[in-house]
A and B are shown apart, each in its own frame.
Chain A
Amino acid sequence: MRLSDTRPGTAFIVDKVLIGGEIGKRLADMGFTQGTTGHYIRGAFLRGPLQIRIRGYDLLIRRCEARLIEVKI
């Protein structure tokens, strides 16, 4: 499943970043690599950005970027 399909408050394991290029590279740079555990903490009002905890820090990504990350629960 995609990261955008998970529910707030759940943990996930990154399986694959689905695209390369600028956006995929940035996501990988920020720590979304295969096998990494992360937590989806909360989402903003009206399907706004997601707060994700990964590699010991928090970051915000938009739903459209979360759709590019394949995860396992």
Chain B
Amino acid sequence: MKKIISVALAGNPNAGKTSLFNALTGSHHKVGNYPGVTVEKLEGFVDHGNLRFKIVDLPGIYSLTAYSLDEVVARDFLIEEKPDIVVDVLDSTNLERNLYLCLQFQELGIPVVGALNMTDEAEEKGIKINETLLSESLGIPFVKTVGTSGKGIKDLLDKTAALVASKNSKAAEHAASTKSLKRQEPLQKVPQYGEEIESRLAPLTKLIESDRAFCDRYPPRWIAIKLLENDENAIKKMQDHAKGQEIITKAESDRAWITGHFGKESEIVITEQRYGYIRGAMHETLIQSTSGRASFTEYIDRLTMNHFLGLPLFFLIIYGIFKLTFALGEYPAALLEAFFGSLATLAQIVIPEGFFRSLVVDGIIGGVGGVFSFVPLIVILFLCISILEDTGYMSRAAFLTDKALHAFGLHGQSFMPLMLGFGCSVPAIMATRTLKSPRDRIATILAVPFMSCGAKLPVYVLLAGTFFPKNAYNIVMLMYLGGVVLSMFSTMLLKRTVLRGPSTAFVMELPPYRLPTWKGVFWHVWGKTWSYIKKAGSIILVASIVIWAITTFPQPRDEVEKTQVFAADFAVTMAEASQEERDLAVERALDEYRLEYSIAGKIGKIIEPAIRPLGFNWKLGVALVPSFSAKEIVVSTLGILYGSGSEENEESESLRQALQRDPGLNPLTALTFMVFILIMPPCLASLAAIRSEAGGKWMLFQVVYSMTLAWIVSFIVRLIALPFLGA
């Protein structure tokens, strides 16, 4: 049995952590989530000698403050789980800022090994690092690595194993030599903050050490530093300390002293001292020969971030992605649709007529199959997006769009999720994870459903095509534009009310352009696609069955009598028509009667008074009920309601004629209905995504909010359009 050593793999974003993780663990890893949050947790194993390293990939962070969700996750993991070793991945081309994080790990009292990653890139840039000297001066073993090629991996594992061995021997020594209460000497040295700060740190640390149980959980010096940095999270932790109040008071007076002495906030002073310490260590170990020549990245940025060309180029790229997604995705999507179609036919042959067949064909295959047909589109879309992300273009997009989005209370990084929303809200909501501030994230999540997704398009096409045959295209475009405008104003409203709060800083790294690796892109796309498929297989499946059930049950008992009544009626009203046509009419009337009798029909009748002011009759009310599970179902429900069977699509002529025949429907109602569909709560899959990304509270908020907004806006649109379209 090998000894298991837990290793936390940490580092700055863009330092090549993922590729190093893959190089270390091969393909032996599993994906999970950190408890309670949606930050992904990767775990993998690698054997080395008689040790087995269990490597946990921490999210990429810049510092150990509690600034972003990622930082909180990383920090909690290091403090609560106490891994044996931290392997810090550093970008060699950008060592100074990367060391800033490295030192904070050292401060936590967990032994650190530094992987000087991207050595190849650094050498190309003329940066030479003397890792032996650097190791000596900081007291951290450093190894040069190249994650993408696997260079230096063995050396890294050797150094990690050596550190484990020395940690163990120190611990044994400590156990053997003393039974006194003296605390264990730290394994590695810690950063020094200069005389003035240290003179404040020492007594504060001593005071914290007075509670031994507390110190077993949190490293005292680290807590002392965090208190001087006015870290809210650390202050909260002091509640568990026997002398908590005394210590907080002391830290406050220390902070005041530092501010008075240095003329700036103590947290700024500590940061400056830390960088000063790094400068000192780097002075002799790093040689940078600058060529004066503009880099490759700089040349491209001159175009992509150009004052005038940047934005047009950006829109061209976005347009290209959409074109590619829908043009290329159409073929596999059609294949999948055909597959589910033949599956339905097969089920119709194999399963005897009855409820079970109806459940399988109309409920399960119809519902889940419809959602699965979007998978190829999602794969292509995410392929393009992860390439944009891995090359570094995404930060340029944030640069270009931040100003416009910020005016409405969003963020440069909100752009991509909003764009994705035109395809499908589910991946769009998942894509908001890149946003650091929870408020910005929630604002973006709540704005996404107003982007008309692919499922709303069939509804627009059907209604616009039927009631605005001359202007169908323009009306559909109007819906899309209206959604965008509405999302912006909705965000403005929310940011001034429920999401009010101080604006968070927009401080974002602009990494150099890098070639994406196939592996990286693959894992990215696979992860997103798989979670989409899982949702389709679980929530959509359940929802499809529920919708099927409420549109099917209860069944009228007087079907036979009704059939005779309808037949007699049609024999009079359709006297000239053929027997076949009359039979069809009876069948349609029966379908409508069954639906009216079902739970869905009853719900339609119940909600009719509420939607009457919008001009909707009970049939439109019925169509709204299943639209909660997926918007495209509106089309097939209208198909059933208007008696042309569920095999309808938006291009169907008979459905269009049937819709036009209904005196309750006119261009005004159709327009109002489209607006309502645009704004009303998104489909169940999206709501599930909102719940998992933002929490159940925000999901409920989204439902109530968008329902209210849909009603109000539809009503206003109806009032405005009334003089133009007539009742």
Contacts and interface: CB of A to CB of B under 8 A. Distances in A.
Contact of B305 (A20, A25, A44, A61): A44
A19 B265 contact: yes
A28 B267 contact: yes
Interface string B158-185: 0000000000000000000000000000
B254 interface: no
Contacts of B307: 42, 44-45
A20 B63 contact: no
Contact of B509 (A20, A47, A58): A58
Nearest to B395: A60
Interface centre among A34, A51, A58 (most CB of B within 10 A): A58
B275 A31 contact: yes
Task: Output the residue of A16, A22, A42, A51 with the most chain B CB within 10 A.
Answer: A22
Contacts of B272: 28, 33-34
A42 to B, nearest CB: 6
A interface SS class:
mixed
Contacts of A21: 230, 265, 267
Contact of B97 (A25, A27, A46, A55): A55
B264 interface: yes
A55 B229 CA distance: 22
Contact of B506 (A29, A46, A61): A61
A19 B275 CA distance: 18
Interface string B104-124: 000000000000000000000
Nearest to A57: B94
Interface string B289-317: 00000000000010001011011000000
Contacts, number: 138
Contacts of A51: 301, 305, 399, 510
Interface string A11-45: 00000110111111111111101101000001011
Contact of A62 (B94, B267, B268, B506): B506
Contacts of A28: 267-268, 271-272
Given A31-B97, A48-B403, A55-B94, A26 B265 contact: no
A11 to B, nearest CB: 14
B32 to A, nearest CB: 29
B505 A20 contact: no
B174 to A, nearest CB: 34
A45 B275 contact: no
A59 interface: yes
Given A44-B403, A60-B399, A65 B93 contact: no
Interface in B499-539: 503-512
A22 B504 contact: yes
A18 to B, nearest CB: 9
B566 interface: no
A20 B268 CA distance: 7
Interface string B253-293: 00000000000111110011001100000000000100000
7 contacts: A19-B265, A27-B505, A29-B62, A44-B307, A51-B301, A60-B507, A62-B505
Given A25-B271, A28-B271, A61-B507, 11 more contacts: A20-B267, A22-B67, A25-B267, A27-B505, A29-B67, A33-B275, A45-B311, A56-B96, A56-B288, A58-B511, A62-B406
